[in-house]
Structure 1
Amino acid sequence: MFHPSTERLIDYWRDRKGETALPRRSDINPGDFLELLPQVFVLGREGGRLPFRLAGGFVSELHARDLRGHDALSLWALAHRLELKSALDVARKRRTPVVVIADIRAPGVPSVGMEVLFAPLQGASGETDRFLGLYQPVAMMARLMGCPASELAVREIKPLGDDNRDLPRLRLATLDGRRIA
């Protein structure tokens, strides 16, 4: 069970999907979830990057910058990027949403828990090349005392497919010869 706002956007995605494998970007009408728009984002897919195509006010304010074109993976702790990218690649291929239970980290203040939804979408080309997303805090944002997020950290990744037993589990990863996970 997730936060009601996360559940609402998951249900919306499933409703738009209907009997098809995946909803198209054109099936998504932001007017259907106006109260969530500040927390909503849309990512594109360009090679190994996931650039923001759209970021709601809350998302941009949390990171204290305009995120359009910015790679979403760069907002996450370096040690968690490969794990997150792998989970999103699986979600894209399986055409199923994933919810990341995360911590918002900012210097000098306690972290704040958050759910981050990534729901894959089909682009105009017919490829699964986008994600509809949601930042849903699950703790008091006041704990950040107005500080922008320095990074997001993965606590747990929860795929929403029918059978998650065979999802890959990251054990050890290296980047340029250094152990990162």
Structure 2
Amino acid sequence: MPSFRYYTGSCPDNDPIKAILPDQRDLKVQALSYCTLDPDQTREEDFDIPEHRILWTYWQGLRGDGTIARYSQINPEDFIKAIGNVLLLEPNENGTDFRYRVYGSNVAKLVGREMTGKWISEFGEVPGRLSLAQYPAVMKLKTPLYSEHTASYSASQSTRWCRLLLPMENRDGVLDRILVGTVPKDFATIL
């Protein structure tokens, strides 16, 4: 069972994502925990971070009776309290790289880079490695993913990155966006 600080819900016993994602040492992150989320079993209350609660509830509303939310119905005003921590990604043709259509201002401020309109591959090897493993996995499995990991963002500070990845499909039923709530937590405050 993964060890999370900001998610209290359940994870599948035989999570299919374990067979897809590489070892965390290959991803160059520390204290990585992740699991897929069952949209019919996961509740808003399972998320400790308000932005994740907002995005989960929003995504569930767009999903309705379907398995994945429809991108054509997205309205940022409906999740305005989480918008600074939202990434919206679009895959390239073969799903090996993703372009940031939106890169939240809170995230940009912490990492010191605005990435809207840029590809993950432009971010650099270490920061992009985890994303380029998780995002294709979400596309393949067509299911939400929750993830936490610790990464250094300066010589003197570390951050616990808490990420909720929500797949979205277009009108034709093709998964072509991933809505991500990525919330940095100061590592010093969670020890």
Tell me whether 1:43 sits opposite 2:96 in the alignment. Answer: no
Gaps of 5+ in 1: 143-181
Distance 1:42 1:21 in 2: 19
Shift of 1:85: 3.5
Aligned to 1:89: 136
Distance 2:106 2:127 in 1: 25
SS state at 1:138 partner: strand
Out of 56, 73, 88, the residue aligned to residue 27 of structure 1 is 73
Tell me whether 1:53 sits opposite 2:121 in the alignment. Answer: no
Tell me whether 1:122 sits opposite 2:177 in the alignment. Answer: no
Deviations 1:102-132 (A, max 9, x none): 2242231121112012111113553111100
Inter-CA distance 97–70: structure 2 relative to 1 (3 Å threshold):
same
Inter-CA distance 23–54: structure 2 relative to 1 (3 Å threshold):
same
In the comparison of the two structures, how many residue pairs are matched? 141
In the alignment, residue 99 of structure 2 is paired with which amino acid? P
Inter-CA distance 87–41: structure 2 relative to 1 (3 Å threshold):
closer
Shift of 1:84: 4.6
Following superposition, which runs of at least 4 residues in structure 1 exceed 6 angstroms of deviation? none
Gaps of 5+ in 2: 1-7, 9-46
Shift of 1:136: 1.2
Contact 2:148 2:161 in 1 (8 A): yes
TM-score (norm 2): 0.63
SS state at 1:44 partner: strand
Deviations 1:10-32 (A, max 9, x none): 22212210111211112221111
What is the 5 A alignment of 1:57-76?
A: 57-72=105-120, 75=123
Distance 1:110 1:10 in 2: 29
Contact 2:85 2:104 in 1 (8 A): yes
TM-score (norm 1): 0.66
Tell me whether 1:78 sits opposite 2:126 in the alignment. Answer: yes
Contact 1:88 1:98 in 2 (8 A): no
Percentage of matched positions with identical amino acids: 23
